[in-house]
Structure 1
Amino acid sequence: MGNSPLISSGSDINSAYQKTRRYFRRLFKFEQMDFQFALWQMFYLLAAPQKLTKVFRARKNFKSQYARDDPAFLILFAGALCLTSIGFAVALGYSFTQFLKFLVVEIFIDCIGIGVVIATTLWYVTNKFLKPKNIPQDVEWGFAFDIHLNAFFPPLILLHFLLLIFYNLFLNPGNGHIGFAALIFGNLFWLAASIYYIYITFLGYNSMQILKNTNLFLVPIPWLIFIYLVTVYQGFNISTAVFAMYKRRVV
Structure 2
Amino acid sequence: MDYPSPPSSTSSYYAPSNASRSLKSVHSNDYMYNMDGMLSGGNGNKACATSMEKGRKFLRRILRFRQMDFEFALWQMINLFIAPHKVYRNFQYRKHTKNQFARDDPAFLVLLSLAFCVTSIGFGFVMKLTWFKIFKLLLWVVFVDCVAVGALIATIMWFLGNKYLVRHGKGDMDLEWGYAFDVHLNAFFPVLMILHCVQLVLINPLIAKDWFISVLIGNTFWLVALGYYVYITFLGYNNLPFVKKSVALLSPMLILVVIYIVSLATRWNITKGLLVFYERRV
Taking the aligned partners of 2:128 and 2:99, their CA distance within structure 1 comes to 48
Aligned length: 240
* Aligned match of 1:153: 189
Q: Does 1:241 align with 2:277?
A: no
Q: Does 1:47 align with 2:82?
A: yes
1:20-31 equivalences under 5 Å are 20-31=55-66
Give CA-to-partner distance per residue, 1:186-211, whole Å, 9 cap, x none. 10011111111111111111111110
Decide which structure has greater helix share: 1
1:93-112 equivalences under 5 Å are 93-112=128-147
Taking the aligned partners of 1:127 and 1:16, their CA distance within structure 2 comes to 15
For the aligned residue pairs, the C-alpha RMSD in angstroms reads 1.9
1:79-94 equivalences under 5 Å are 79-94=114-129
1:180-191 equivalences under 5 Å are 180-191=212-223
Identity of aligned residues (%): 43
TM norm structure 2:
0.80
Q: Does 1:227 align with 2:233?
A: no
TM norm structure 1:
0.90
Give CA-to-partner distance per residue, 1:62-81, whole Å, 9 cap, x none. 11111001111111111111
Give CA-to-partner distance per residue, 1:190-233, whole Å, 9 cap, x none. 11111111111111111111100000100010120111011111
What is the DSSP-based 3-state SS (H/G/I as helix, E as strand, rest coil) of the residue aligned with 2:63? coil
Structure 1 alignment gaps of length 5 or more: 174-178
* Aligned match of 2:207: 170
Taking the aligned partners of 2:217 and 2:193, their CA distance within structure 1 comes to 16
* Aligned match of 1:211: 243
Taking the aligned partners of 2:156 and 2:142, their CA distance within structure 1 comes to 20
Taking the aligned partners of 1:74 and 1:164, their CA distance within structure 2 comes to 22
Give CA-to-partner distance per residue, 1:134-159, whole Å, 9 cap, x none. 14210100111111111111111111
Taking the aligned partners of 1:86 and 1:47, their CA distance within structure 2 comes to 27
Structure 2 alignment gaps of length 5 or more: 1-40
Change over 3 Å in CA distance of 1:12–1:105 after alignment to 2:
farther
Taking the aligned partners of 1:14 and 1:49, their CA distance within structure 2 comes to 28
Taking the aligned partners of 2:184 and 2:275, their CA distance within structure 1 comes to 23
Taking the aligned partners of 1:244 and 1:45, their CA distance within structure 2 comes to 30
Change over 3 Å in CA distance of 1:113–1:29 after alignment to 2:
closer
Q: Does 1:124 align with 2:159?
A: yes
Letter in 1 for 2:135: L
What is the DSSP-based 3-state SS (H/G/I as helix, E as strand, rest coil) of the residue aligned with 2:188? helix
Once the two structures are TM-superposed, the CA of residue 127 in structure 1 deviates from its matched residue by 0.6
1:39-78 equivalences under 5 Å are 39-78=74-113
Taking the aligned partners of 1:21 and 1:114, their CA distance within structure 2 comes to 20
